[in-house]
Amino acid sequence: MATGRGRSRRVSLPGVAELFRPAAPGPDGGDQRRATGREKHTQKITIYLSAEELLDLERARLALLGYGVAADRGRIVREAIAVLLADLDAQGHDSLLARRIISANHDADPEHSHGQQNSHGQNIPGQTGESAR
């Protein structure tokens, strides 16, 4: 009979309130998320990038280095995520992230995107011309 090691395999996840909280105001008083710096990170995700995306990320790292700012790729990704999520909190449907995803979804399936549009002319997901009337 195998005995357990006394460790639970359950992962502790944040609650709904924490997941959907607005960004905390930054030191300048604006709505700005702060990316973590050089510290031990206990959470990990794996993403897959195309060769072009990876080269773009490396070019960004080298450009920052040229400006006298040393940052590893992980730090750049955390900063980019913080900026995009702060914009999403502040702008919602009109945020850069939402607009890019809506546009990508439209480009991937233009047949099913003839619905209501936002102020930027992008279609609102889940709304067709028939149901929006």
Higher-pLDDT residue of 32, 107: 107
Q: CA separation (Å) from 73 to 9, 58, 61, 116?
A: 30, 7, 7, 38
Mean per-residue pLDDT for 109-127?
58
The percentage of the chain sitting over the pLDDT mark of 90, rounded to a whole number, equals 45
The whole-chain average pLDDT of the chain stands at: 76
> Looking at residues 4-29, what average pLDDT do you find?
55
pLDDT range class, residue 19, cuts 50, 70, 90: low
Residue 24 has pLDDT above 50, yes or no: no
Q: In whole angstroms, what is the distance from residue 84 CA to residue 93 CA? A: 12
CA angle 91, 95, 98 (to 5 degrees): 130
Residue 57 CB-density burial (10 A; 0-12 exposed, 13-18 middle, 19+ buried): middle
Give residue 14's pLDDT band: very low, low, confident or very high (50, 70, 90). Answer: low
At 12, list the tokens: 């502790």
Rounded to 10°, the helix 51-66/73-91 angle is: 100
Q: Give the 3-state secondary structure of residue 117.
A: strand
pLDDT(3) > 80: no
